[in-house]
Amino acid sequence: MVRTIAILALWLSVLPQSLFAQVEISARGGVHVDRAPEHDRLVTTGGAAMYAGRGEASALGIRIGYWHRPTFGFQFDVSQSSNASWSGSTPLPPPPFANRTTYLSARAVARTSPARSLQLAIAAGPAVMIYGGPGTNLRTRGADVGGVLEASARLRLVHRLALEVAVSNYLYGSSYLAGGTGSQAGATRSVFRHDLLLLPALVFTWP
């Protein structure tokens, strides 16, 4: 995935200047605020019964942006959160545990004038959530489709480099297995989720 993004960035950088206003790439790191009561994952290795718990998860991401006009553009984002919080029981030492979600999204984005040192932006678009980690996925699917809304503020540090703080809200419906045991038998529960990601970033733009 990282190699694909790098190739896309290189391809955009050699396009004639008349075809675009600006291209950018950013590296992001922050937190995923998980307050949902549902248990997403179950680990039973070695007699354990470890359920994914609520809590703040670490999150990393990379994003490419293409500004068709000075105040309007498009973005492609890949972010992943990893939550080590769990509840239940386990022998010592506990087995490895991480509840991971990968967020893929494409957005249309509008911002205030890039001539200003401080810029504000809003973005929206479709998103796909892909679930991973050790143990059993307690959802009925390995991925869900939804959307994302984002608000951000960006402060230009030097000509090509800026610091950005973005809050993304991923909205989607997910379905959980009955009883939280990983069994496919029985009724399922449908839940509406909104995952908040707070991701500060360093943004490099060119030309």
Q: State residue 18's pLDDT score.
A: 45
Contacts of 15 (CB under 8 A, 6+ apart): none
CATH number for 71 = 2.40.160.20
Percent of the chain with pLDDT over 70: 86
Task: With cut-offs at 50, 70 and 90, classify the pLDDT of residue 193.
Answer: very high
Cis bond upstream, residue 94 (ω within 30)? no
| Domain housing 180 | 2-206
**Per the structure, how many domains does the chain have?**
1
Query: CA 193 to CA 83: how far, in whole Å?
Result: 16
pTM of the model: 0.84
Which among 23, 27, 25 has a CA at the least distance from the CA of 14? 23
Q: How does residue 50 score in pLDDT terms, banded at 50, 70 and 90? A: confident
